Amino acid sequence: MNDLIKKLVEAYGPSGFEEQMRELIRPEIEPYADEISVDALGNLIARKKGDGSGLKVMVAAHMDEIGVMVSHVTKEGFLRFTNIGGVFPHNLMGSRVQFANGVMGVIYCDKLEDRGKIHPLNKHFIDVGASSKEDCPVRVGDAAGFVRPFMAQGSRLTAKSMDDRIGCAVAIEALKRLKATPHDVYFVFSVQEEVGTRGAQTAAQALNPDVGIAVDVTTTGDIPEARPMDVSLGKGPAIKVKDAGMIAHAGLVRLMRQRAEESGIPFQLEVLLGGSTDARSIQIANGGAAAGCISIPCRYVHSQSETLDADDVENGVKLLAEILANPLAL
């Protein structure tokens, strides 16, 4: 599965610019889906037909990643930029970014009088090797994603954009393993999650599912001075109970726990104090849906070195496939 993960996490795809991600994911799912479509916002949707006895289920994993967008080009050819999603200034200096046309850039900042402090976002710039505004190979409005190679050390996997390319990998692998299901399942590889779960909202409004399951990452409490949280790497996928944007459907939480226990799949329970996922948009679309989330524990979220455990990923695939292969009595 590492080959698939590497392909996804190293690819370009900031929020609103997910075309390359769609082209990577589509051939992975085409042999296993009964129907494939792309909606007006750019969500890639793969339908797996059930036997007619189940429910309509939407599984959402977002294709987009955090990034930056050029807001101004100086006369010397340096790029000022704004954020796309949750970009933290303390992760920026020295980072490399890539634009859709392949141009690479290095992020640095204005002179620091006090090296113990960090400049805000608007005091950073991108150097793409231009000597003037006229010979700059990118323009205002162009978006860039961060560049960092995938790394595997034993079971620990590190890369930029594990959030949420790892959710995409889990959904792809679960679709491949799902030989039969009673449900009409729509695997939605959504866009623009990092700027407000916009893709999932439009997909849920159109599909009107009975049940929604997001697959995303969550933070952990197992690093020095972490906010206390009962989620750690290597102890199984986390079944979301609550986050800052939603309270998961209690019946779906019970069912996820039941399926995990019956199948001997290790799991954790997640109460996240900040942030939310595509499950929030599914939960409140139209008349509402029973929504929840399978979260892959991840350290250093929204950095260029997001780190997780391969065993949690594999068990996340098993749990999602087990849920979809059986009745959903909520």
**Active site residue ranges:** 193
Vertex 309 angle, CA 58 and 197, to 5°: 35
Matching residue, tokens 């993960």 = 5
Backbone angles phi, psi at 314, to 5 degrees: -60, -45
DSSP assignment string, 236-288:
-PEEEEE-SS-B--HHHHHHHHHHHHHHT---EEEE-SS---HHHHHHHSTT-
> Do 209 and 288 meet the contact criterion of CB atoms below 8 Å apart?
no
**DSSP H helical segments within 112-190, as ranges?**
162-177
Contacts of residue 133, defined as CB under 8 A and 6 or more positions apart, other chains included, come to 73, 74, 75, 76, 77
The amino acid present at 328, given as its one-letter code, is: L
Residue 91's nearest CA partner among 302, 306, 307, 274 is 302
Matching residue, tokens 């979260």 = 295
The C-alpha atoms of residue 13 and residue 28 are separated, in whole angstroms, by 17
| Cβ-based neighbour number of residue 80 at 10 Å | 17
The C-alpha atoms of residue 248 and residue 239 are separated, in whole angstroms, by 9
Alpha carbons within 13 A on the beta-carbon side of 127? 11
How many residues does this entry show for the chain?
Answer: 330
The C-alpha atoms of residue 307 and residue 137 are separated, in whole angstroms, by 33
Vertex 111 angle, CA 107 and 112, to 5°: 105
Residue 235's nearest CA partner among 213, 273, 266 is 266
